[in-house]
Amino acid sequence: MVEARDPLVEARKQLRRAIDLLGYPDYIYEVLAEPERVIQVKIPVKTSDGVKVFIGWRSQHNSALGPYKGGVRYHPNVTMNEVIALSMWMTWKNSLAGLPYGGGKGGVRVNPKMLTPRELEELSRRYFEAISDFVGVDLDIPAPDVYTDPQVMAWYFDEYSRIKRGIYPGVVTGKPPELGGLKARIVATGYGVAVAVREAARRLLGGLEGKTVAVQGFGNVGYYTAKYLAEMGAKVVAVSDSRGGIYLPEGLDPDEVLAVKRREGSVIHYPKAKKKVSPMEVLELDVDILVPAAIEGVITEENAGRIKARLIAEGANGPTTTEAERILTERGIIVLPDILVNAGGVIMSHIEWVNNRMGGWITDEEALRKLESKMSENVRYVLSYWEKKLEVDKHPVRDAAYMIAVERVVNAMKLRGWI
Ligand code: NAD
């Protein structure tokens, strides 16, 4: 029987590697391999067929750099170890992004599609009530993740404000715009990926203008990445969704493709496409830049040898396996890691949080400009660190990203006198 991969084992392996590369002693690994706190809660919900009991967690991995920050996912298979691993990744992502946040993550084991809207509201309010003493504007700030959305954040905000007898919009981000959220949140991750690709292409490919791009996945991240890359002068020649992909060598219009997908259910019905490809073939097309923006584990040792792109930007979380990355590095293909390039969402969350705390207002243009300068600066910094401190033909950019992220957290722990 094949053992399901334990994400916490993976997360600890990555931490181990960073600690070894930084030459830190073992106790640093011990300090960071466990979260500071994990809260497990029981959530009984009254439904028309009796009471259903759900289980949920909030993992607070590290708070050296600031309040814990990370989303809450509702999923029938979510486990405590998965939530802990995701909270550790949030520590690195926030640190690398240069945000004054630690890492946290929440999860409730539930299939939200089986609940009525009223039951979903009840579940959301009871979950947040159960963790309300452990979250807060300056303590832990949840946000949407898989199957949670702005409406769920609105219920969290309302429940917390009711319990704490105040109005605290800054306790969650990713809220509806009417409640202090930012409209720009929806485009943030894809826009951030596009900005990161542009910055890296300037440095590594002599510019983005006219470079060909293939994007796997045409959801929130994939569509906005394709749209902004096309606007920035790249030629998006292929996109795909779970049903298949399309290829048009002279470049396609992401907005036209989206209209077709909305109308007919998939990008494969785009009438101008010259060729149809499978969701996996899109990864192997002859392009300059590849953006996997669908699911994890799609670039493996099996297909890494056939990838033709010179630059890969991980819009999705974890699309490249460790073994595949080793092959790509040997072949001189550069992978911009997920914790660097898909941080646009959390950067926008930070802008929302600052705005809520100030009781201020900010336009979408301003918010996107801030995201753009932060992401460009981060990409430049990571690539410089990689070129200066590591042998680039042996180490992927991910090694540099993890070293920077872990080093910042360790320095903060030292300064605060924890270690
Ligand atoms: P989404 O559900 O909006 O879109 C997913 C897309 O992937 C859909 O087009 C779907 O058809 C496609 N897809 C699914 N299975 C596929 C397969 N086997 N082959 C090809 N395409 C497939 O999701 P999203 O929000 O765009 O997230 C995509 C990835 O980005 C996930 O890994 C997510 O964790 C990550 N991510 C998202 C955000 C965000 O703000 N949305 C932030 C950081 C990371």
Q: Which two tokens stand for residue 327?
A: 């092959």
Range of the domain at 245: 186-336
List the pLDDT tens digit at each of the 419 positions of the chain.
Answer: 344 678 999 999 999 999 999 999 999 999 999 999 999 999 999 988 899 999 999 999 999 999 999 999 999 999 999 999 999 999 999 999 999 999 999 999 999 999 999 999 999 999 999 999 999 999 999 999 999 999 999 999 999 999 999 999 999 999 999 999 999 999 999 999 999 999 999 999 999 999 999 999 999 999 999 999 999 999 999 999 999 999 999 999 999 999 999 999 999 999 999 999 999 999 999 999 999 999 999 999 999 999 999 999 999 999 999 999 999 999 999 999 999 999 999 999 999 999 999 999 999 999 999 999 999 999 999 999 999 999 999 999 999 999 999 999 999 999 999 99
Q: Are 383 and 203 in contact (CB under 8 A)?
A: yes
Q: CATH number of the domain that 205 lies in?
A: 3.40.50.720
Q: Residues 136-140: contacts with CB within 8 Å, 24+ apart? A: 136/67, 136/168, 136/171, 137/67, 137/168, 137/170, 137/171, 137/353, 137/356, 137/357, 138/67, 139/67, 139/68, 140/58, 140/60, 140/67, 140/68, 140/69, 140/104
Q: How many structural domains comprise the chain?
A: 2
Domain boundary among 118, 140, 173: 173
Same domain, residue pair 190 and 330: yes
Atom 2 of ligand 1, residue of closest alpha carbon? 219
Give the SS3 label for residue 191. Answer: helix
CB-ligand 1 contact for 314 (6 Å cutoff): no
Q: What is the pLDDT of residue 4?
A: 61
Please tell me which residue in 69, 93, 105, 211 is annotated as part of the active site. 105
Q: What is the pLDDT of residue 49?
A: 85
Same domain, residue pair 76 and 134: yes
Atom 32 of ligand 1, residue of closest alpha carbon? 316
CB-ligand 1 contact for 294 (6 Å cutoff): yes
Query: DSSP alpha helices (H): ranges in 301-419?
Result: 322-330, 338-341, 344-358, 364-389, 397-415
CB-ligand 1 contact for 315 (6 Å cutoff): yes
Q: What is the pLDDT of residue 241?
A: 96
Q: Are 260 and 223 in contact (CB under 8 A)?
A: no
345, 351, 354, 355 alpha-carbon torsion, rounded to 10°: -120
CA dist., res. 135 & res. 144, Å (int): 15
Q: List C-alpha distances in Å: 313 to 80, 136, 202, 292.
A: 29, 34, 14, 7
Atom 18 of ligand 1, residue of closest alpha carbon? 242
CB-ligand 1 contact for 316 (6 Å cutoff): yes
Q: Distance from the CA of 366 to the center of ligand 1, in angstroms?
A: 26
CA dist., res. 76 & res. 257, Å (int): 32
CB-ligand 1 contact for 170 (6 Å cutoff): no
Q: Are 58 and 38 in contact (CB under 8 A)?
A: yes
pLDDT tens sequence across 249-270: 999 999 999 999 999 999 999 9
Same domain, residue pair 217 and 320: yes
Same domain, residue pair 143 and 268: no
pLDDT tens sequence across 198-211: 999 999 999 999 99
Q: CATH number of the domain that 105 lies in?
A: 3.40.50.10860
Q: What is the pTM of this model?
A: 0.96
